Amino acid sequence: MFSVGTGLPTTAGQTATILPGLPTASGPGALSFALFDRNPGVAGLDTLYIADDRTLATGGGIQKWTFDGTTWTLVFTFGTANGLTVGARGLAGLVTGANVTLLATAASASANIVYSLIDDGSGTTTATTLATAPTNTAYRGVAFSPR
């Protein structure tokens, strides 16, 4: 996860800078992400979810990071304790009242699952299976439909 340039990068030659606090090597296998402005005490976007396709044992799953105005900090990772069996690839999020609803696709190569998770801040929510792909097929991306 990088910031590119300053402000709106509209010219060539902008510098990509890793977000402060995120790992620079052997970090998340980040394939999708969702950013939110959840903390009124921090200007701008301050909550980041990353779909990480590594194995759950090596940190894969859905990571939740928060920003304090200076540094991004890993709060927790939705994984085995939340009912996930493999890492995640696709990810979409939607603020629902005081919570964030996440949709994610499992990183399985075939017959993978689309999950729903409600982040209430506790890190203990259990994933709900919404769909399972047929054998020899896989869901990759996921999105909420417009309201």
Highest averaged pLDDT of the listed ranges 4-18, 21-35, 54-68: 54-68
Instruction: Please tell me the predicted confidence (pLDDT) of residue 88.
Output: 94
- Whether pLDDT at 24 is above 80: no
- Whether pLDDT at 5 is above 90: no
Residue in 38, 93, 92 with CA at minimum distance from that of residue 68? 38
Contacts of 146 (CB under 8 A, 6+ apart): none
Q: Average pLDDT, stretch 106-122?
A: 94
pLDDT in tens, 34-80: 999 999 999 999 999 999 999 999 889 999 999 999 999 999 999 99
Q: Give the Cα separation of 101 and 110 in Å (integer).
A: 25
pLDDT tier for residue 28 given thresholds of 50, 70 and 90: low
Q: Give the Cα separation of 105 and 97 in Å (integer).
A: 23
Residue in 60, 71, 10 with CA at minimum distance from that of residue 31? 60
Answer with the residue of higher pLDDT: 31 or 88. Answer: 88
